[in-house]
Chain A
Amino acid sequence: MVAAESQSIDDNDRQTQLLRGALDMCLLALLAREPAHGYELVRRMETAGFGAISYGTIYPLLTRMRRLDLVAHEQQASPTGPPRKVYALTRSGRIHLDAWQKQWNRFADTVNAVLDPIEHSPTRS
């Protein structure tokens, strides 16, 4: 029981570490598909399979990406509620996303190449 809990905590930590290096890229990719406001991005990240990522993580990150001119926002009138502050990729954001995506693919290929032999090699007990 304790071992299972420990494993779960370890998995969560590792997931957080992996996400840390990819979260901004994933947000840009989601915004490239369709502009969204902060809370909508939280839901999209969850739907994409990342689990529950807090608004408290995503909103400050969006603010940083805005400062770096990777995204821009505009207010859009909503028929059902208050005006929405919707984020969308800028030209610079698109360029960065393309570059980061290529870098990620190279990195993932390298990691996969290193990990691949593990599946076939015998382990010591």
Chain B
Amino acid sequence: MDIIDSLLGEADQAWRAYGVDSADRAALAADLRLDLRAAAADGGDPVQLIGGDVAGFARRLADEAGVRRVRRGYGRILGTALIGAVLGAVLGYGLLMAAYPAFVRMFDAPRSIHVPTQLAVAVYYGVPAAVVAVGAVIAVRTRLRDLPRIQKTARIMSMLLPAAGIIITPITIAFAWSTDYSTAPAVVVAEIGMVLAALAGATVLARRLSLREGRVASDTPHPDATNVKPA
């Protein structure tokens, strides 16, 4: 990789962090690459030309080009989803306690009524898990209305969070089995971390997908901005 590629890679990172979408990043990079190559052919050093603050240069360039920027808001979405999930967990725990006698009766049901154990377990743990996911989705949908495409994000979250839960559950159980179902703090923390990481990953993926589907109207327009014209 030559020095221009390296600089463009650094600029691309800055544009990503700045919320510039991929098409505009590609257009900006293509233009800049041509100009830097011409400068280098005339004896200019690309590193010196851009200076030490490549990220600052990239942001300034994006502003001047009037490209569309989208606030991805990963941090806010994760934080809000976590709060919603915690509230959902509390509510789910309450439901579990309230429904516990009913489950006991199910297991003590007469032999003529057969309730598969797997079904009972799935319902027993599935209901609180669903409440946790619903809590996270509702929190994101209602508390972050200022973020673009947040409803789409919430819709995708409602599909990905259960999927992530279904995938991570056997993995976590396998991990617990490998530790002989240890209740040592480190093991329990690791298990909680695995579940949270899966849910966080699903949330971030939902956000990415919601922003990827179609171009998003800019929420940070440059004054009299138009789209940057691709080279």
Contact = CB atoms under 8 A, between A and B. Distances in A.
A56 B50 contact: yes
Interface size bracket, B side: 20 to 34
Instruction: Specify the main secondary structure of chain B where it touches its partner.
Output: helix
A66 B44 CA distance: 23
Contact of A83 (B31, B34, B39, B228): B34
B57 A39 contact: no
Nearest to A68: B224
Interface stretch (A15-23, A27-35, A57-65): A57-65
Considering residues B63, B226, B229, which has the most beta carbons from chain A within 10 angstroms of its beta carbon?
B229
Contact of B37 (A56, A59, A80, A81): A81
B231 interface: yes
Interface in B54-73: 56-57, 60-61, 63-66
A38 B64 CA distance: 15
Nearest to A72: B229
Interface string A44-70: 000000000011100111011011100
Contact of A38 (B35, B224, B226): B35
A80 B42 CA distance: 9
A39 B64 contact: no
Interface of A: 37-40, 42, 54-56, 59-61, 63-64, 66-68, 75, 78, 80-85
11 contacts: A38-B35, A59-B32, A60-B57, A60-B64, A63-B65, A67-B226, A81-B42, A82-B37, A82-B38, A83-B34, A84-B38
